[in-house]
Structure 1
């Protein structure tokens, strides 16, 4: 690879808010499932983000941080609100921002995909399909959501995190509102795209107002749900164009959903980045920096994406395999990560394998043993089950936001 091409990955990026990221490599949001089962960070989770910070990336994003314990994806998520352990969150912020890195929190709400043993799943519309049942949010509940996201963002700022990312992808609540497949509302939050994106725009506006103009606010947006009748590329382009006027600092392009039975982009077998063509198509529609997440497996792919108008590269599984990959790429001492071949994993098994690999990294005990994705899935399920009782006890005692 030409030195000039590789060097582009390690040029700083100044965001519209004025924050300067030291290079173009981000650890995109993943549900690491390393919370304590009550919504607070653990020592293991802090070590994980310290490892990534030491590895030379610009920013890590903590996946699925909830504003309350009532609609979490899993009981390993973090919850940042009036009942949180402020000292533990401050320690996480310090650990993940060492070595010149930044640590951002992804603001999430699982909605219809909330974990039933700890939640009553609620989405834009009532659903009753195999593996997924939920009731519909009331108008009042929908209207309360922007202020909840904003409170969480302000706490992230107060506790020392470097920025926030609003999660509007992968089938979580804001993504559900955007999708005509899951949003069948007849009020001002459903129907035409202008209505389906209304909640998202309200969330972005309130978050920006809460944190002020100098704090990074990003958004993760699907290029497509990869579901027939769902959120597709034309609508996604229209949303990107509208977001150009909303004061965001970064638009993180991804795709797919985690609805039961749906195909996940990250479980695909493609050799290249999944959503780079879409990002290139929206580059003329926005002045906001663009990040692409999904499918980057080589240094060449990451560097070439910058030549196509992308500003940041979002790596997830590559950084699970090699936490110090940015340092290795920069120094020339590391090649491309060796992705394991996992034969016939069950549904959810591949994600579970990477989740348990994160647990190993957090314990400084990762090995080269590929292991069994079925065993990883059983381990993840058992860990979640063990957290149900403490999570529910914490949720019952959770103070209402003032």
Structure 2
């Protein structure tokens, strides 16, 4: 067993009263394991059960949509009043084995909605190489807090232990926060106080919908990693505002998935990306903090929590190559997961490999030898193409 002093294995009591059994979270990833019609699948349930068995305190389900025309991939889940709550309840039960928590990440892709199934709409109109979007009307913006609140309410009914509002990685709420993508001249654009307005309205609506004892988190970009985008000083202003909203956890991340942009997860580096910023944020809020990105060793994760910079660490790709990593760390085995290396991968290729690896884990057939990158990309693209037809058959074609 790990020494009792290891802070990674101390419980964390969130402001709402929810207790996380340790300080390790499986951060949100788009696992792309919905059935193509927005429903969870048994393979997806087994994936989250694997992480729960592996000792994680919390798993966050990437991109659960309240609007089927705002999905970023046809493998996303859709949770609305028309959804089969028992299918979501089954996912909740499997993901909460072994004392773990499982929360959906409430998403809306905005300008990055997948064109074959979605409507690309963001804070402002865009006409960029590989990306075109219309501007949301004031009426459409006004409807968003209620939509997110309804999805959160249904998540609670399905037995999920909390929700995370996604305001990072270039999706809709991140687009509103970013001066690069938000050029509005009304109450939702201009200074950062206006650009965060929708996020704050939405968080208040979600909290009112789920009550005081369900965990509510926000995933926030520290920086867009794009010239002219959201910068750390503005992120601190957002954090100061979130301090008064009654949320339970702020997950610090960064980068975007806009075409041609380098995501934080693909940018390399030898250590955690956002711990230094977390030290600054700690002075601005009493809300527990989590940092996601760049953690590759037990020592890095332990030291981030021991230093007081963060209360939790979010692991994504590390939990794909080693789904039982928390148990390994607790037992003092294999402190450093082994990550595959790819030579000159195409844009999106590494993400495709990790996504297909998630399928292998959910089917209990992963191996220690990484498969060919090209094969993973081909299978990933073919599966998405098949699911587009399923998605459109259920939800119809976008306008």
TM-score (normalizing by structure 2): 0.98
Structure 2 CA distance for aligned equivalents of residues 75 and 169 of structure 1: 20
Residue of structure 1 equivalent to 2:67: 68
Helix, strand or coil: the match of 1:117?
coil
Given that 1:346 and 1:373 are in contact with CA atoms closer than 8 Å, whether structure 2 keeps it comes out as no
Residue of structure 2 equivalent to 1:393: 393
Given that 1:346 and 1:374 are in contact with CA atoms closer than 8 Å, whether structure 2 keeps it comes out as no
Helix, strand or coil: the match of 2:62?
strand
Residue of structure 1 equivalent to 2:54: 55
Structure 2 CA distance for aligned equivalents of residues 52 and 213 of structure 1: 27
Task: Note closer, same or farther for the CA distance 1:86–1:213 as it changes in structure 2 (3 Å cut).
Answer: same
Structure 2 CA distance for aligned equivalents of residues 43 and 382 of structure 1: 20
Residue of structure 2 equivalent to 1:316: 316
What is the CA deviation profile of residues 318-362 of structure 1, one whole-angstrom value per residue up to 9, with x for unaligned ones? Answer: 110111110111112332101111111110011111001001001
How far 1:374 moved relative to its partner?
2.7
Q: Which runs of no fewer than 5 residues in structure 2 stay unpaired?
A: none
Helix, strand or coil: the match of 1:118?
coil
Residue of structure 2 equivalent to 1:363: 363
Structure 2 CA distance for aligned equivalents of residues 331 and 106 of structure 1: 30
Aligned residue runs from structure 1 range 330-345, under 5 A: 330-345=330-345
Q: Aligned pair 1:181/2:180, yes or no?
A: yes
Given that 1:253 and 1:291 are in contact with CA atoms closer than 8 Å, whether structure 2 keeps it comes out as yes
Structure 2 CA distance for aligned equivalents of residues 285 and 335 of structure 1: 33
Structure 2 CA distance for aligned equivalents of residues 12 and 188 of structure 1: 41
Q: Which moved more, 1:350-359 or 1:331-340?
A: 331-340
Structure 1 CA distance for aligned equivalents of residues 61 and 350 of structure 2: 20
Residue of structure 2 equivalent to 1:102: 101
Structure 2 CA distance for aligned equivalents of residues 115 and 188 of structure 1: 28
Q: Which runs of no fewer than 5 residues in structure 1 stay unpaired?
A: none
Structure 2 CA distance for aligned equivalents of residues 205 and 338 of structure 1: 41
Structure 2 CA distance for aligned equivalents of residues 115 and 326 of structure 1: 34
Structure 2 CA distance for aligned equivalents of residues 295 and 27 of structure 1: 13
Structure 1 CA distance for aligned equivalents of residues 132 and 122 of structure 2: 10
What is the CA deviation profile of residues 185-237 of structure 1, one whole-angstrom value per residue up to 9, with x for unaligned ones? Answer: 11111111111000000000000000011110000000000000001111001
Given that 1:58 and 1:101 are in contact with CA atoms closer than 8 Å, whether structure 2 keeps it comes out as yes
What is the CA deviation profile of residues 42-89 of structure 1, one whole-angstrom value per residue up to 9, with x for unaligned ones? Answer: 010000000000001101000000002111000000000012121111
How far 1:382 moved relative to its partner?
1.1
Structure 2 CA distance for aligned equivalents of residues 382 and 123 of structure 1: 28
The runs of 4+ residues in structure 1 deviating greater than 2 Å are 2-5, 371-375
Aligned residue runs from structure 1 range 371-382, under 5 A: 371-382=371-382
Given that 1:169 and 1:222 are in contact with CA atoms closer than 8 Å, whether structure 2 keeps it comes out as yes
Q: State the aligned residue count.
A: 397
Helix, strand or coil: the match of 2:237?
helix
Residue of structure 1 equivalent to 2:155: 156
Residue of structure 2 equivalent to 1:89: 88
Residue of structure 2 equivalent to 1:231: 230
How far 1:375 moved relative to its partner?
2.4
Structure 2 CA distance for aligned equivalents of residues 253 and 120 of structure 1: 28
Q: Aligned pair 1:354/2:359, yes or no?
A: no
Q: Which moved more, 1:389-398 or 1:264-273?
A: 389-398
How far 1:4 moved relative to its partner?
5.6
Structure 1 CA distance for aligned equivalents of residues 310 and 251 of structure 2: 10
Structure 1 CA distance for aligned equivalents of residues 375 and 171 of structure 2: 27
Q: Aligned pair 1:171/2:170, yes or no?
A: yes
Structure 1 CA distance for aligned equivalents of residues 56 and 197 of structure 2: 34
How far 1:380 moved relative to its partner?
1.2
